Amino acid sequence: MSISLFMSENKDKVGENGASGKFELHEPQIRPAVEYVGETSIHLWKDSINILAIIGEIAEAVWYAMKNPRKVRWRETLYYMDVCGADALPISCMICFLMGLILGFQASLQMHKFGTDLYVADLVGLSVVKELGPMMVAMICAGRAGSAFAAEISTMKVSEEIDAMVTMGFQPSRFLIIPKLLALVMVMPVLTIFGNVVGIIGGMTVGVYSLGIPIITYFNRTALIVTPRFFTEGLIKSAVFAVLIAAVGCLRGFEAKNDTHGVGAAATSAVVSGIFLVIIADTLMTYLFSRF
Amino acid sequence: MDENKTVPMIQAKDLTVGYGDVVVLENLNFSIERGEVFVIIGGSGCGKSTILKHLIGLYEPMKGDILIKGESIVKADWEEKRRLMKSFGVLYQAGALFSALTIAENIALPMEEYTKYSEKEIMQHVNEKLKLVGLQGAGPKMPSELSGGMKKRAALARAMALDPEILFFDEPSTSLDPVTAAMLDRLILDLRDRLGTTMVIVTHDLDSIYAISDRVIMLDKEAKTIVARGKPSELRKSNPPPAVKEFLERAGLSRKMD
């Protein structure tokens, strides 16, 4: 009796084990480097095409949603706003506060040597509003929302819910991606605003208690340095990160393999590619913002 | 409805299906008539479910065409496909109820999308369907609160939500106890007799095959094609090829039947 007896229910593997139905275990072998490079390149190429395809599909779905706002599943959007926004608020604030604190502390050590204590407010204010606020919130959301989206969609795929959706005439992109995308785009900038505020408070705590700068002086300096433009830049970044995290989370869910390993891998991959894309986008946007 | 009498409900022409480069089944030709209980049988891994997923338009065949009421579902664009899909319901292997919605919401979903019923009318229809499958009062429950058999029945209620002309079943009796499986069989026959619904069933449950099928086709993994077709009881008597005989008689350990 071969193992194929236990494998035979796996419909996607039909024919893969050859006509004999025997299940063969492959000996692990060291693959030639060329083969590895080739395979990786092909994989990367296919991945890029998939990302392009999903961007197209999302654009179409967004366009459709704008034309028919009543067809958007608002109840689900609110649900995701709650899960990805309200529930993420405490951890986002906590991390942003601590980042502000750490940054303030590190800066104060250096600035104090040169007697430029007040510039701690500049450094903390600008870094938090332009970079750390949006970035830290994006990291948290990639870990929380991105992985959840991927796991949810890939589980739906395993249980044939996606198939059922298609045969009921619903386009999965409209049905599944749009509420998640809208929710994340709406809540991430809000989380970022909260993050920015508590981040600056973190820096202020160091400034006031460790360097002895009066609160009002620190506040005025921050208000002078952090212009609405910088603040807006941070929020734009945050919205772009939201699109990336939601899109890549859903993409990884849709391309997951039809088994339990697939669900885990999809969630992992959603977080890794989410963070990667966020950093790439941040680099580009920082460059662009500095030019205009 | 009558004008379509001559056109078969479903027609497969030179259908070749597979995954990637691997051909699973080649050059299949069959047609399914209106009001027929058509059963696709075969051993595990022969591509039964694969062929079903092609018939309902989920996968694209490698070659050939599938006509539903004379219209190709293979060449249809999304809007045409959507229109064709509206005319059939599918019962998936594990039910595939949307786990984020209650049973009632699951059944109401297609009605909300396709009909102009008011909320009250929808609820009325939902309850009617639930009653039909013997699940009165299960509407407000979540799918995770139901047993496997109940999920399947709820999924059947959802598949029937729009009173489809064709119902597809992917292994309906797996994970059902014999009593529920028999109930499902009776329900299938009853629906066919009352509404004239065409039934396409993928199964390897012998009892079901003998009890409800008008016609079967048997697929084979090695031959990659249809190895037998006809009425199962006649097939068994008519000295079929050994593989078919083995399948229909449970590999020689025949139970006492008719």
Q: What is the pLDDT of residues B217-230, one digit of tens each?
A: 888 888 888 888 88
Q: Where are the beta strands (DSSP E) in chain A?
A: none
Q: Which residue of A has its CA nearest to B83?
A: A169
Q: What is the pLDDT of residues A254-270, one digit of tens each?
A: 888 888 888 999 999 99
The burial of B141, by beta-carbon neighbours within 10 Å (0-12 exposed, 13-18 middle, 19 or more buried), is given as middle
**Type of residue found at A33:** A
Q: Cα separation of A126 and A134, whole Å?
A: 12
Contact between B195 and B33 under an 8 Å Cβ cutoff? The reply is no
Query: When comparing pLDDT for B86 and A147, which is higher?
Result: A147
Q: For residue B207, count other CB atoms closer than 10 A to its CB.
A: 15
Interface of B with A in 68-107 (CB under 8 A): 78, 82, 85-86, 88, 90, 92-94, 96-100
Phi, psi of A290 (to 5 degrees): -75, -20
Among B44, B50, B158, the strongest candidate for a mutation testing the A interface, having the largest count of A CBs within 10 A, is: B44
Report pLDDT for A26: 61
Q: Which domains does chain B carry?
A: 2-87+164-248 (3.40.50.300)
Burial code (b: 16+ CB inside 10 Å, e: under 16) for A59-72 equals eebbeebeeeeeeb
Task: Lay out the sheet containing B22-32: strands in order across.
Answer: B22-32, B10-19, B63-68, B71-72
pLDDT of residue B206: 81
* Contact (CB, 8 A) for A152 and A266: no
The whole-number pLDDT of residue B176 equals 79
What pLDDT, on the 0 to 100 scale, is given for residue B251? 57
From chain A, the residues in CB contact with B44 under 8 A are 8-9
pLDDT digits (tens, 9 = 90+) for A57-90: 888 888 988 898 888 888 889 999 999 999 999 9
Q: Report the b/e string of B105-138 with b at 16+ CB within 10 A.
A: bbbbbbbeeeeeeeeeebbebbbebbebbebeeb
Residues of B in contact with A13 (CB under 8 A): 45
Q: What's the average model confidence in pLDDT over B134-146?
A: 87
Q: What is the overall mean pLDDT for chain A?
A: 87
Query: How many CB atoms are located within 10 Å of the residue A174 CB?
Result: 21
Q: What pLDDT, on the 0 to 100 scale, is given for residue A1? A: 32
Domain boundaries, given as residue ranges, for chain A: 88-291
User: What's the pLDDT score for residue A168?
Assistant: 86
Residue B178: pLDDT band (50, 70, 90) is: confident
Percentage of chain B lying above the pLDDT 90 cut: 7
Spatial contact of B150 and B158, defined as CB atoms under 8 Å apart: no
Residues of A in contact with B45 (CB under 8 A): 8-11, 13-15, 21
CA distance A145 to A270: 9
- b vs e for A217-248, b when ≥16 Cβ sit within 10 Å of the residue's Cβ? ebbebbeebbeeeebebbbebbbbbbbbbbbb
pLDDT at B101 (0 to 100): 87
Measured distance CA(A145)–CA(A137) in Å, rounded: 11
Please tell me the distance from the alpha carbon of residue B155 to that of residue B151, in angstroms, as a whole number: 6
B221 CB neighbours in chain A (<8 A) are 15, 19, 21
Other Cβ atoms less than 10 A from the Cβ of A47: the count is 14
The interface predicted TM-score (ipTM) is: 0.82
**With left for phi above 0 and alpha for psi between -120 and 50, is residue A60 left, alpha or beta?**
alpha
A198 Cβ contact list (under 8 Å, min separation 6) = A93, A96, A97, A100
Return phi, psi of residue A93, to 5°.
-65, -45
